[in-house]
Structure formats: structure tokens, C-alpha cells
Amino acid sequence: MAEALRETNTKFPFLAYGTDWLAFGHVVIAVAFIGAWRDPVRNKWLFQFGMMACVAVVPWALVFGEVRGIPLGWRLIDGAFGVVGFFPMWWCWRLANEVEGGVLKRDVPGPP
């Protein structure tokens, strides 16, 4: 594998440029979520964005992975990031809605 990377980098160094932009995209998206951390109610749309992105990962990985010849097991692992990532986004969105409504379920006193 190391030899394949060396040979590819020697013959096609521009391919690595794509990974630089991929990393940049991840950083920019992560920075956007700072807004949700600072003010989750005002920026709860970011949680919706995150849920949409998680849902989109599954068909994206399955379809384009097939086009690129990626093994099914790898595509399922990639899609699992979307499935697993959806739940924290949904939970944060739900909590932001509860805060916006003025009542957190865990703050409501129970029976005496």
C-alpha cells in the first residue's frame, strides 16, 4: 500500500490536492457548528442541517461507492457514520426545541 501511495504521488501529485479540499470542507462545517454550541436555540437549524447531511450520507455512499468500485462492506461502514451521527443531531435539535418552548422535560418536577 505504501508503494502505491508513493507511486501515485509521484505520477499524479494533483490527486492529493483533492484531499486537502476535503479536509478544508470538514473544518468549515465544524466551525459552523460552533454557532450551535454557543446558542443552540437560535442556531437549531444547524442540527437540522446535520440530520439532513447524515441522511444523505447513506445513499451517497451506496451509489457513488458502487460507481467507484468500493467494496460493499466499506460502503456500509461509510453509511453507518450517517446512521450513528443522526441521533446526536436529533437529540440536540429536540433539546433546543424544548429550551425554546421554555420547558425541559428533565426539569419538570415529578410526583411527590
Written as tens digits, the pLDDT of the chain (112 aa) is 889 889 988 998 888 887 888 899 999 999 999 999 999 999 999 999 999 999 999 999 999 999 999 999 999 999 999 999 999 999 999 999 999 988 666 655 556 5
Distance CA(98)–CA(41), nearest Å, equals: 9
Residue 22 is predicted with a pLDDT of 87
Please list, in sequence order, all residues whose beta carbon lies within 8 angstroms of the beta carbon of residue 4, skipping any fewer than 6 positions away: none
Cα maximum dimension of the chain: 73
Residue 58 is predicted with a pLDDT of 96
Q: Where are the domains of the chain?
A: 1-38, 40-104
What are the grid coordinates assigned to 88, written together? 446526536
What are the grid coordinates assigned to 90, written together? 436529533
Residue 112 is predicted with a pLDDT of 56
